[in-house]
Amino acid sequence: MTLDVALMHRFSSFELDVAFTAERGVTALFGRSGAGKTSVINAVAGLLRPDRGRIDVSGTRLLDTAIGVDVPSHRRRIGYVFQDARLFPHLTVRQNLLFGRWFSEAGNASSEFAHIVALLGIAALLDHRPGTLSGGEKQRVAIARAILHNPQILILDEATSALDSEVESAIQEQLINLMAGKTVIAIAHRLSTIAAMDRLIIMDEGRIVEEGTHGELLKRGGLYADLWARQSGGFLASEAAE
């Protein structure tokens, strides 16, 4: 799936003005806190209506403020995994997952349900309620629920932040397999996570300032290279001190 986005929205503290295309694979939105990353994905998901904008998914128009098109969020076939998971507390894990499957246009066979549950390592949690789960377990369940929705686009907002680096890498590999042929938009801050993504979109003060792969952006020596040097330098220093 190809996601085409052009948005403009004025907030009290800054103005969002972005345009980009995300192809199949994993595209990361990266930048300092307050750069506008969450506002972009909220607009794509239908949770924020921009002052002006257009959003297309492979030729299907989801938003066009010029002609009054605004497809409701529940009809956009976009899976959204929030940082805090946001599971239904009164439902078991199984019921939370089935909620995602019920809203899938294509549906999911029982074998696919079992496959996703096994791949994300949550089979033992199916009869538990969210209140008994750890942060990492909740995130795994939220990811499984979003995938069972059979989304065309999957949005991850720090969705693996509660996992340690080794587990996070494993989950990312599983996600790539599960979302093969589809488009994933991710907000992430962990260095290892960002470097592994197919394409990076760097934002600053509501604007896109750089686009490319990790290697390309390091060679350019711009904002991303500067942020990488600062973060990796602090990371290496802390590692050496241990």
Domains parsed from the chain with CATH numbers: 1-77+188-242 (3.40.50.300)
Tell me the average pLDDT of the chain: 85
Phi, psi of 84 (to 5 degrees): -95, 15
Give tens-digit pLDDT for 114-139: 888 988 889 999 999 999 998 888 88
Residues 178 and 163: their CA atoms lie apart, in Å, by 19
* CB-based contact 203:35 (threshold 8 Å): yes
The encoded tokens of residue 38 equal: 């969450």
Average pLDDT of 72-79? 90
Question: What average pLDDT does the segment 14-34 reach?
Answer: 92
More confident: 79 or 169: 79
Task: Kindly tell me if the per-residue pLDDT of 63 is higher than 90.
Answer: yes
**Would you give the DSSP letter of residue 197?**
S
Amino acid 197: pLDDT? 85
pLDDT level of residue 44 (50, 70, 90 thresholds): very high
Q: Which of 104, 188, 89 is nearest to 144 (CA)?
A: 104
Q: In this predicted structure, which of 55-64, 145-154, 204-213 has the lowest mean pLDDT?
A: 145-154
Rounded Cα–Cα distance for residues 201 and 228 (Å): 14
pLDDT of residue 182: 81
**Strand ordering across the sheet containing 3-10:** 15-22, 3-10, 52-57, 60-64, 69-70
Place of tokens 């986005």: 5
Alpha helices (H) along the chain: 37-45, 93-102, 110-119, 135-148, 165-178, 191-195, 214-220, 223-241
Asked if residue 48 lies in contact with residue 39, where contact means CB atoms within 8 angstroms, the answer is: yes
Adjacent-strand bridge partners of 211: 201
Selected residue with higher pLDDT from 44 and 178: 44
pLDDT at 65: 97
Q: Record the pTM.
A: 0.83
Across 217-222, average pLDDT: 93
pLDDT tens for 167-204 read: 666 676 667 677 777 899 988 776 667 777 889 999 99
| pLDDT number for residue 88 | 92
User: Distance between CA atoms of 4 and 185, rounded to whole angstroms?
Assistant: 12
